[in-house]
Amino acid sequence: MNTLIAVDVSKDTLQIQTKTKGWAVGNNASGLADLLNQISGVENPFVVFEATGGYERTLLNTMQENSVSMCRINPRRVRAFAQSEGMKAKTDPIDAKMILNFVIEKNLRPMVPMEKEFRQLQALLDRRGHLTEMLAREKTRLKNSDEMIHASIDKVIRLLNEELESIENDIDELIKNHRHLKQRFECLTAIVGVGKVSAWSVLGYLGELAKIGRNQAVALAGIAPFNKDSGKFSGKRRIIGGRAKVRKALYMAAQTASIHNPIIKPYVEHLRAQGKPYKCAMVAAMRKLLIHMRSELIKLDSGLAL
């Protein structure tokens, strides 16, 4: 039986709520040490918190390093739950209680633990994303700005390109120096159509791929079509939610695979011949590609276990 511990995360504080009491600690090393001390005598602690744009990362890493079961949930789900309960007020203690009630109601499962090197890869990929976004903005400014400031923009573009190259070298080094990452990276890039960026993204943002079921993997990647039917009305099924960074990487990989992969290419051509729209065929290809990645990683893990 798990002991539920709900945590409302903010920049500076962690508001903690159990079934019997609530208290607050700082969102820092000493506060987390206090939290660990408080739950050290608790039977099977299960810490649940919302994603808060990165402020929860220290809590997440601390719980993983101390082998405490945990689950990170989408804040929109909790807010929708609060609204369904008629709760209009919003304070940290109220939010912590609502997270606790949400967990009790929904019977959530703990997250699959992620090894340290996978978390490091995720951090580097996040930084790579920041740099590519800034680079795209500067390139756009170069096209629609006065020539007087072009020299300044060019300077920033050169700096961003250098920093982007440095981050990508760091990613290559990280993968090369960690056996598990390297084996999985080589396994994924051996699939026709899966380039290094796509492999990085799947490993960094869906590192638990080989440890979860097919349907869960497809849902987490945001490529599971959901029905939209009511009575006699039958609407188009659409994909929604999931991890956008994984979905973007899969889309790029599926585009290449639809041209060169000997299995994906005829599959897409068959769907297109049946009159399926291009994007519909691509989503189907993404799903097939992801399931194949999962299968190959499971085979790899099975071989390593022998």
pLDDT at 174 over 60: yes
pLDDT for position 43: 86
Q: 63 CB contacts (<8 Å, ≥6 apart)?
A: 47, 69, 70
Can you tell me the distance from the alpha carbon of 4 to that of 166, in angstroms, rounded to the nearest whole number? 42
Compute the average pLDDT of residues 237-258.
90
Q: pTM here? A: 0.85
Mean pLDDT of 198-219: 93
What does the pLDDT average to over 281-296?
96
Q: Does residue 91 sit in helix, strand or coil?
A: coil
pLDDT single digits (tens) 42-98: 888 999 999 988 899 999 999 998 989 999 998 998 999 999 989 888 898 999 999
Percent of the chain beyond pLDDT 70?
Answer: 97
Longest Cα–Cα distance of the chain, Å, equals 67
Res 305 pLDDT > 60: no
Instruction: Report the share of the chain in percent with pLDDT over 90.
Output: 75
Contact 24, 66 (CB under 8 A): no
| pLDDT (0 to 100) of residue 270 | 96
Residue 48 has phi, psi (to 5 degrees) of -125, 135
Distance CA 220, CA 192 (A): 23
Mean pLDDT of the chain: 91
Place of tokens 């638990």: 208
pLDDT tier, 304 (very low <50, low <70, confident <90, very high otherwise): low
- What per-residue confidence (pLDDT) applies to 72? 93
The model's pLDDT over 140-166, given as tens digits with 9 standing for 90+, comes to 999 999 999 999 999 999 999 999 999
